[in-house]
Structure 1
């Protein structure tokens, strides 16, 4: 069977990754900066595009009613209470350095898992994708959720460790060493080949 890869860019959003007026998660943005995640993700994204690999961007973004929010835990309540991460707000946008180009879909989700309540799995199937390459923030949230769901859906999974960060370095390290290898392979951007 022929392998067809897709690169999934997970939650590289202004509110999560960039210092400034729209930042919602300072510890996460600090780890993103310390680890050089955006620069690494930019290099991988450029390589994928040059190789003609299908790229999809995923982001946490809500409609004005917040009724499409699939995660109804109290932890997600502040988004609605603060009218945060609305789809058209500056904070919900993908960071400029990793902005989608023509032909790259942006999938909006209302929870941690990028497959729940979205067309992502169907889109990958329509593209004939058999293997997903994952990078994103936070490692122990969206990246782990994506790896679990993708592997359970029959996809092969590769996680690019240096495209990821979490709120704390030890959260990232634990996920990379103990959780992600259960659902796929973990590699570095230097060892990734499209």
Structure 2
């Protein structure tokens, strides 16, 4: 696909965002995840990435009890400390079981939308010789788009796997995929990506 090592970045596939049940925080997003079969597409890509020895990194929104490391200080993020939500050890902050990290796969905790802000992720990718990142996650127009923008501006090649992503509404996903993501990298599907490995 490209020179250098490839990393699969799995972004915010968390119980509170993706799974129906007592810990769900965003029902519209979880509904789109289910309707688009996002988790099953991500499972296939994850299995293939492990087979070809890509670096796999998991990113999640997770806080320590002080919330001081929360880098996003917008009002909409105030709900997390106000409700003591998405604490790192809480059930809601965990990565969904189907995509659980394997031994040796790092988990990066972030305090904002962008997975590179306030985290060692970019430095870790550089240290591992990564020049190409493959992205999937929720929500498309938030963490995935932020990651694509930041990665491309940092000199990385970017591939977004469209059917590994979902947003709160189909139109938000489609606009991001069709009009914005192509400015920062290539867009593909799970099957196309696996076929090209």
* TM-score between both structures, scaled by the size of structure 2: 0.97
Secondary structure of 2:142's aligned partner: helix
Cross-structure match for 2:34: 33
Q: Which runs of 4+ in 1 moved over 4 A?
A: none
Query: What is the match of residue 23 of structure 1?
Result: 24
Query: Which residue does the alignment assign to 2:144?
Result: 143
Equivalent positions of 1:115-194 (< 5 A) are: 115-192=116-193, 193-194=196-197
Partner of 2:99: 98
Displacement of 1:4 in angstroms is 1.3
Q: Which residue of 1 aligns with 2:62?
A: 61
After superposition, the C-alpha distances for 1:116-145 in whole angstroms (9 at most, x for unaligned) are: 000000110010000000000000000000
Task: Count residues with an aligned counterpart.
Answer: 194
Aligned counterparts of 1:52 and 1:155: Cα–Cα separation in 2: 19
Shift of 1:86: 0.2
Distance (Å, rounded) in 2 between the aligned partners of 1:3 and 1:163: 23
**TM-score of the superposition, structure 1-length normalised?**
0.99
Distance 1:83 1:129 in 2: 35
Gaps of 5+ in 2: none
Gaps of 5+ in 1: none
CA RMSD of aligned residues (A): 0.8
Question: Any idea what SS the aligned residue of 1:179 has?
Answer: helix
